[in-house]
Structure 1
Amino acid sequence: MKNTFKKLFPYAVVGVMSGATTFGAIHYYGEKAQDSEFSYFAPKNTDAKYASFNMTGVGDDFVQAAKLTVPAVVSITNFSNRTQRGRSESDWFDLFFGPRGGMPQRQQAPQDAPAMPSGMGSGVIISPDGYIISNNHVVANASKLEVVLSNKKTYVANLVGTDPTTDIALLKIEDKGLPFLNFANSDNVEVGQWVLAVGNPMGLNSTVTAGIVSAKGRSIDLLSQQSRTPIESFIQTDAAINPGNSGGALVNPQGELIGINSAISSKTGYYEGYGFAVPSNLARKVVEDLKKFGLVQRGFLGVVPLDLSDQRAVAAYNRERNAKIKGGNGVLLLQVSEKGGAEDAGLRTGDIITKVDNVEIGSYYDLSFVVGSKRPGDRVAVTYNRNGKTYTTNVTLKDEKGGTSLRSKARSEERF
């Protein structure tokens, strides 16, 4: 089995592997063409209540949506003590926030240097008692996180937890009766619908821009920089977003949260037409897990899939294995792990997964999004093709160690 992965690695990225129980996914990495560069929004140093209302007939008038959203979007300042990080971490930090204090990028700060503002981003209050959702890269390497509300009230936030796989982080400030946003069902988002992006770009607090949803389920191969098993199924929008918008809100005309802004398509680091947001359904699942368990509970099928929609991955696999696999939609199972959920349900090497819970699976990213949104112990209906015939089986998902029990570190049983 180890030899198999060594042979596949030159043209593929292998996800989480734990013994012979659970595997991540393979997708093409080496020769992928990049027409654009994708950047996080982290910039250089630079008592309302939630209410519902009837938006019937409002059309493209976003005044009420903005009034709801702005008080619930906060500015987050990352204070970092550079002496706490090694060179590799410093380089990673500078990649997103830029070198601080005029120092050369690789120069190390003095040993007694105090924590300094290292970057700024945004966050969204999602409960009246102070839970805030943001991006993992906004809070990375922080020794202190300072949160400022739209009314200028300032707090020091506690970091509840992070999930590099989705680039989501959960923070907590101590207060009551705070303005907050409700999560909408991102499955109901439609291409072409109007949206608002709210954040703190380039130090301009409480900035609201409007645009439309340009695409759904977009993968940009960005999160592989911080996770071996990234889950990317972004909402793409043309609402203007810039450095500092990371962790900010993408809302519908009703002022409901449909996404967390995370990245832009840009060669300059500034807005050039498109931004990308983590869908609210995935973000909500992550923060619920972080709040309830202290870690993210993520289910795995227990397979190594080949993305048939990735022509380069298919071609590379055919060259390496002297195979004649044809590209198309779906994912081909290159390997089914022993005692994994897929094997228990009767899936075999060579099967092609086309649906999970009746959701079309056109690519690896579709599969990782649907399965990654589930927890160990959840059952999913997997539709697959074998020798030209279509079958459906129920798979009980397992964790990366092959178990189905939920591991808990949290003290609360609450859900948002």
Structure 2
Amino acid sequence: MSRNFAIKIFAPLAVSASIIGAAALLSGNPERAHADLPPVGAVVQAVPPVQGVPSLAPMLKAVMPAVVNISVTSKVEIQNPLMQDPFFRRFFGAPEQQQPQERESQAIGSGVVVDAAKGYVITNSHVVAEADSISVRLNDDREFDAKLIGKDPDTDVAVLQIKADNLTALKMADSDQLQVGDFVVAIGSPFGLRQTVTSGIVSGLSRQTGISEGGYEDFIQTDASINPGNSGGALINLRGELVGIPSNILSRSGGNIGIGFAIPTNLAREVMSQLVSNGEIQRGRIGINGQDLTPDLAKAFGLTSTRGAVITRVLPKSPADKAGLKSEDVILEANGRAVENFAQLRNRVGLMRIGDKVTLKVLRDGKPREVTVSIGKEEEIAADSDNLHPQLKGATFAPLDESARQNAGDTRGVLVQAVEPRSPAARAGLRPGDIVIAVNRRPVQDLEDFSKLANPKAPELLLHVRRGPGALFILIR
């Protein structure tokens, strides 16, 4: 998909075998070479085929039918920037409220069939984010309209469904078994070039890029060549099993520099399960804030390892509070799996179902203990834009969740949880993830404050918004 950070592919694998072979030939004492030409009229015999040359072709022949091309059609608003200026509107006699025009936009991406019987296709959320229609084209050139089962922007995972026979599905491997240095192969449609295959290795694990601004990230890093159109495709191991879904790249220019990221299948599997069951993700929470265990903190706590997450705050009356967790506890494991950092802990808890139990191994005053916590539900949405200023229609506001509090470094304000495309709130400039900290120069502590200050009778709203590491003002009339 053609967004700045998206897609995956991989560098030479079979070439290394030929390089090793060449090195072996050069390591001995070869006979002196002669530049003798064959006699005139002599027939030069072709080099006989070499048997047993390493090739990925047999494996790819079996898996490539499971990788599909996705075409998305959507409508995009077009506004003349000059007409946004009141002076130009008066000069040309244009009405104050400009009706935005729309044009049709098309984009491409990739997907993977993961359930042949039910026709489920997994892809990236950003591939189908604002789709009005979705088309899936198979390896055998059959084309089908796809139904969007659900999408989760926080993990960049989406699930589609097509009604088709004779589908090929990829087996989803246990991505926790991946190691740095494992060979991987990427298949997708970069720039619309269907069924493009590249190879490389796993360059890193459990990467957080910050691209999703508070989302759930646990990326596989690869040196694959990633380009627009590969998003949502397949990252497979040499057994032909799906280990990741290419999602984004790190680049200063927008082109590939060998640093690509894929969503691990274990994370994608959990998200897909909830999307198929509920059509949406219901985030779990236990009610803690925390940070990574740095070398300095480890020394202060008398620990020799820097693996783990330190609890910095336990929210009152939260599941963690009820279970007995305390500030300064160091979480080492969750359900028997090691916790490397706080982001990894947040991923695991956030992807668990509400009501599930997580057993945490913690260190308190240097002594290990186990604490079992029931996964709770994130704070309910309490502000509906229908009861707010009309220019906020289309936006969903919620209390600050744990990740938003941590990223903002503050507990006040309300979170813009979602913004419908082409809605008044979208045209006003609000984006999902924004935090409104003041309205008309009056601070907003919570949803109750926001509802009072942004009521429908207000002639205009001056919103002070925190966006990522920066802040801005948005004037709404």
TM beyond 0.5: yes
Is residue 77 of structure 1 aligned with residue 74 of structure 2?
no
**Rounded Cα–Cα distance in structure 2 between residues aligned with 1:360 and 1:125:** 31
**Rounded Cα–Cα distance in structure 2 between residues aligned with 1:59 and 1:162:** 43
Q: What do residues 58-103 of structure 1 show as CA deviations (whole Å, max 9, x unaligned)?
A: 9963222211221111111221111399x9xxxxxxxxxxxxxxxx
* Alignment correspondent of 1:397: 375
* Alignment correspondent of 1:136: 125
Residue 7 of structure 2 aligns to which amino acid in structure 1?
Answer: F
Number of aligned positions between the proteins: 315
Distance 1:379 1:324, change over 3 A: closer
Q: What do residues 165-203 of structure 1 show as CA deviations (whole Å, max 9, x unaligned)?
A: 111011111222212111111112222111110000111
* Alignment correspondent of 1:40: 6
2:156 to 167, 187, 193: 167
Equivalent pair of 1:298/1:372 in contact (CA under 8 Å): yes
Q: How does 1:181-196 map to 2 (within 5 A)?
A: 181-196=170-185
Shift of residue 236 of structure 1? Answer: 1.2
Residue 396 of structure 1 aligns to which amino acid in structure 2?
Answer: S
Equivalent pair of 1:134/1:260 in contact (CA under 8 Å): yes
Shift of residue 260 of structure 1? Answer: 0.4
Residue 69 of structure 1 aligns to which amino acid in structure 2?
Answer: V
Distance 1:262 1:309, change over 3 A: farther
Is residue 120 of structure 1 aligned with residue 114 of structure 2?
no
* Alignment correspondent of 1:337: 315
Shift of residue 235 of structure 1? Answer: 1.0
Is residue 371 of structure 1 aligned with residue 371 of structure 2?
no
**Rounded Cα–Cα distance in structure 1 between residues aligned with 2:60 and 2:259:** 21
Q: How does 1:246-285 map to 2 (within 5 A)?
A: 246-285=231-270
Q: Describe the SS at the equivalent of 1:273.
A: coil
Equivalent pair of 2:219/2:262 in contact (CA under 8 Å): yes
Shift of residue 360 of structure 1? Answer: 2.3
Moved more, 323-332 or 273-282: 323-332
Q: What do residues 285-340 of structure 1 show as CA deviations (whole Å, max 9, x unaligned)?
A: 111111112122432221111233499xx9xxxxxxxx999994432222212332
**Unpaired segments of 5 or more residues in structure 1?**
1-37, 43-57, 88-108, 315-322, 403-416
Equivalent pair of 2:234/2:242 in contact (CA under 8 Å): yes
* Alignment correspondent of 1:7: none
Larger radius of gyration: 2
1:65 to 46, 55, 59: 59
Shift of residue 262 of structure 1? Answer: 0.4
Distance 1:84 1:359, change over 3 A: farther
Residue 156 of structure 1 aligns to which amino acid in structure 2?
Answer: D
Q: Describe the SS at the equivalent of 2:274.
A: helix
**Percent identity between the aligned chains?**
38
Shift of residue 247 of structure 1? Answer: 0.3
Q: Describe the SS at the equivalent of 2:77.
A: helix
1:201 to 182, 190, 196: 190
Distance 1:310 1:364, change over 3 A: farther
Equivalent pair of 1:352/1:384 in contact (CA under 8 Å): yes
Shift of residue 394 of structure 1? Answer: 1.3
Q: Describe the SS at the equivalent of 1:83.
A: strand
**Rounded Cα–Cα distance in structure 1 between residues aligned with 2:7 and 2:55:** 27
Equivalent pair of 1:301/1:342 in contact (CA under 8 Å): yes
* Alignment correspondent of 1:317: none
* Alignment correspondent of 2:201: 212
**Rounded Cα–Cα distance in structure 2 between residues aligned with 1:161 and 1:297:** 12
**Rounded Cα–Cα distance in structure 2 between residues aligned with 1:153 and 1:167:** 26
Q: Describe the SS at the equivalent of 2:376.
A: coil
Equivalent pair of 1:60/1:194 in contact (CA under 8 Å): no
Equivalent pair of 1:197/1:210 in contact (CA under 8 Å): yes
Is residue 223 of structure 1 aligned with residue 212 of structure 2?
yes
Residue 79 of structure 1 aligns to which amino acid in structure 2?
Answer: T
TM-score (norm 1): 0.69
TM-score (norm 2): 0.61
Q: Describe the SS at the equivalent of 1:368.
A: helix
Shift of residue 401 of structure 1? Answer: 3.8
Shift of residue 371 of structure 1? Answer: 1.9
* Alignment correspondent of 1:411: none
* Alignment correspondent of 1:240: 225
* Alignment correspondent of 2:165: 176
**Unpaired segments of 5 or more residues in structure 2?**
9-51, 82-97, 381-477
* Alignment correspondent of 1:151: 140
Q: What do residues 384-413 of structure 1 show as CA deviations (whole Å, max 9, x unaligned)?
A: 2222322221111112149xxxxxxxxxxx
Moved more, 286-295 or 368-377: 368-377
Equivalent pair of 2:6/2:227 in contact (CA under 8 Å): no
Residue 352 of structure 2 aligns to which amino acid in structure 1?
Answer: K
Q: Describe the SS at the equivalent of 1:268.
A: coil
Q: Describe the SS at the equivalent of 1:82.
A: strand
Equivalent pair of 1:115/1:143 in contact (CA under 8 Å): no
Equivalent pair of 1:309/1:362 in contact (CA under 8 Å): no
Shift of residue 110 of structure 1? Answer: 8.6
Equivalent pair of 1:73/1:150 in contact (CA under 8 Å): yes
Distance 1:60 1:217, change over 3 A: farther
Is residue 354 of structure 1 aligned with residue 320 of structure 2?
no
Moved more, 276-285 or 123-132: 123-132
What RMSD, in angstroms, separates the aligned Cα atoms of the two structures? 3.1
Q: What do residues 109-151 of structure 1 show as CA deviations (whole Å, max 9, x unaligned)?
A: 995645331x211111111132111101111111111222122
Residue 74 of structure 1 aligns to which amino acid in structure 2?
Answer: V
Higher relative CO (CA 8 A, sep ≥ 6), structure 1 or 2?
A: 1
**Rounded Cα–Cα distance in structure 2 between residues aligned with 1:59 and 1:289:** 44
Q: What do residues 228-266 of structure 1 show as CA deviations (whole Å, max 9, x unaligned)?
A: 4x1111111122221111000001111111110001122
